[in-house]
Structure 1
Amino acid sequence: MKPIFNQPKTSIVAALLAIFLFASCTSTQEITYFQDETLENYEPIDFNTDVVYKTNDKISIIVSSLDPEAARPFNLPTISEGQSAIVTQGSTKMQTYLVDKYGNIEFPVLGQIKIGGLGRTEATELLKTRLKEYLKNPIVNIRLINFTITVLGEVRNPGTFVLEDEKISLSEALGYAGDLTIHGRRDNVLLIRDNNGTKQYSKFDLTSISVLNNQSYYLAQDDVVYISPNKAKVRSSSYNQNTAVVISALAVIVSLTAIIVN
């Protein structure tokens, strides 16, 4: 009679194990970002990484000329509404300008100036033209203060980073995030860029030295870099802190089943 009972016993155990494996199975789609649409639906990135000023950008503007006293009113070290003193020149804190929702800044003496949508060269020439009414051969130095990038996914320190720089490479961005973890895919790094409300993308293969010559190797303001998990990470995500409890419970069930069947 033993073989008769062994068959249902085996079937029950197999069924329990199948349920466990199915319940603990995790797919790539469940843990990987940006899976709902294919990248073909997005525009490729415009690789011109020249700074273009936009809403909420913070910039410093330093004006100088042959007559320092004449340029002084255009470099007020005080803080006014919509400005914050986060740039230090020697012991003097220089004011920075916040680009408002209309793309304007409030500039000393000159009043409201629209620089939103302009690159550094265009904004510099615009200010020089306005300043020539007051200064002889004015020199204008513009710098973006809140250059922001976001690094997500399989890196040691994911997050958003605000840098006092206007040019940063992909390698430097990953350095700020603590580099990739052992579970990050080196051959599938995704870059997402917002260009006037349109999402653009590019992909990198860090295993190839040719990535250094890629035009999109240098990031732009508000770029997002995403490192997807490799297969090992996906598999490991199938097991969580409750796995041991589930296995113990299954062991008890299997033991009780064997006793009842036998």
Structure 2
Amino acid sequence: MKNLTFVLFIALTILGCAPKRDLVYFSNLSNVSNDQIQKAADIKLQKNDQLSISLTSLNTEYNVLFASANANNSNTPINSKGGFRVNNAGNINLPLVGEIKVEGLNLEEAQDLITKVLRKQIKDPYVDLQLVNFKVTVLGEVNHPASLNVPGEQINILEALGMAGDMTVFGRRENVLVIREEDGIRNMTRLNLNDKNIYNSPYFHLKQNDIIYVEPDKSKEKQVNNTLLPIISTCVSAVAVILTVILR
């Protein structure tokens, strides 16, 4: 009996040594918080961005021509949503005007530029421009890792994690990696989602093609790499049942 009790004590001690973890987002948030919200940075158009561009003007023939080219552009690869791809030179190839440099412009600037160029040939053109292949990728300790197509042009890291099914209990909320490529430079930063100051980070609002990696906790590593812990847990349960029966 003493031996069984000693084994049970040792096993429970080992299982109880796992470090406590903070699984709550913004755990340092007080009951009331009136923080200044940081505005999302404008999206800058990049190579291989896919743009949906519609034209409305007093010239119906041009409208139809533009709509047809937008839906089935034979000169530029398109995705399933249609549109015009920003080529390797940073240009889009439009009917009536040819190539226009849009790389590095935000959506509003690109729309204004296209409208200005079309106004030389069309009376009162109205141009609507949308980015149709905005995506981010979420990997690691989330329930549904995937590349996510983003409706619209804005998404923050919490929304992306939500679209990926949120973190698992093994995800390290205090050490989330964001990988971003801009102008040929790869930037990597780690974010602490337990800290309310995450809102002030330029990486809180995600950009086109950002990658979010949720690192697993050490307990997950031990679970995958070490089969001893499940065996101990099973033995503890069996010993506990036996002791319960004997002590009765």
- Length-normalised TM-score, structure 2: 0.68
Q: Which residue of 2 aligns with 1:102?
A: 89
Match of 1:63 among 55, 67, 70: 55
The alpha-carbon deviation at position 213 of structure 1 amounts to 4.6
The alpha-carbon deviation at position 105 of structure 1 amounts to 1.6
Match of 2:133 among 146, 153, 158: 146
Larger Rg, first or second structure (1 or 2): 1
Shift in CA distance, 78/191, structure 1 to aligned 2, threshold 3 Å = closer
Unaligned 5+ residue runs, structure 1? 1-46, 88-94, 245-262
Shift in CA distance, 78/184, structure 1 to aligned 2, threshold 3 Å = closer
The alpha-carbon deviation at position 136 of structure 1 amounts to 2.9
Report if the CA contact (8 A) 1:184-1:227 is conserved.
Answer: yes
Name the CA distance, whole Å, in 1 between partners of 2:89 and 2:125.
Answer: 26
Q: Provide the identity percentage.
A: 33
**SS at 2:83 equivalent:** strand
Name the CA distance, whole Å, in 1 between partners of 2:95 and 2:77.
Answer: 12
Name the CA distance, whole Å, in 2 between partners of 1:70 and 1:138.
Answer: 13
The alpha-carbon deviation at position 110 of structure 1 amounts to 1.1
The alpha-carbon deviation at position 48 of structure 1 amounts to 6.7
Q: Which has the higher strand share?
A: 1
Count matched residues: 189
Q: Deviations over 1:220-258 (max 9, x none)?
A: 0010111111121122232259x97xxxxxxxxxxxxxx
The alpha-carbon deviation at position 109 of structure 1 amounts to 1.2
Q: Which residue of 2 aligns with 1:204?
A: 191
Q: Which residue of 2 aligns with 1:194?
A: 181
Is residue 2:148 matched to residue 1:157? Answer: no
Report if the CA contact (8 A) 1:70-1:135 is conserved.
Answer: no
**SS at 1:219 equivalent:** coil
Q: Which residue of 1 aligns with 2:222?
A: 235
Report if the CA contact (8 A) 2:73-2:84 is conserved.
Answer: no
**SS at 1:175 equivalent:** helix
**SS at 1:156 equivalent:** coil
Q: Which residue of 1 aligns with 2:43?
A: 51
Shift in CA distance, 232/167, structure 1 to aligned 2, threshold 3 Å = same
| Poorly superposed stretches of 4+, deviation over 4 Å | none
Q: Which residue of 1 aligns with 2:205?
A: 218
For residue 156 of structure 1, what is the amino acid of its counterpart? N
Name the CA distance, whole Å, in 2 between partners of 1:161 and 1:193.
Answer: 15
Shift in CA distance, 215/54, structure 1 to aligned 2, threshold 3 Å = closer
The alpha-carbon deviation at position 78 of structure 1 amounts to 4.7
For residue 67 of structure 2, what is the amino acid of its counterpart? N
For residue 189 of structure 1, what is the amino acid of its counterpart? V
The alpha-carbon deviation at position 174 of structure 1 amounts to 0.5
Is residue 2:67 matched to residue 1:79? Answer: no
Report if the CA contact (8 A) 1:132-1:138 is conserved.
Answer: yes
Name the CA distance, whole Å, in 2 between partners of 1:191 and 1:78.
Answer: 34
The alpha-carbon deviation at position 147 of structure 1 amounts to 0.7
Q: Which residue of 2 aligns with 1:39?
A: none
Shift in CA distance, 85/219, structure 1 to aligned 2, threshold 3 Å = closer
Q: Which residue of 1 aligns with 2:117?
A: 130
Report if the CA contact (8 A) 2:49-2:85 is conserved.
Answer: yes
**SS at 2:194 equivalent:** coil
Name the CA distance, whole Å, in 2 between partners of 1:85 and 1:102.
Answer: 19
Shift in CA distance, 206/48, structure 1 to aligned 2, threshold 3 Å = closer
Name the CA distance, whole Å, in 2 between partners of 1:217 and 1:100.
Answer: 29
**SS at 1:109 equivalent:** coil
Matches for 1:110-121 after TM superposition, within 5 Å = 110-121=97-108
Unaligned 5+ residue runs, structure 2? 1-38, 232-248
**SS at 2:103 equivalent:** coil
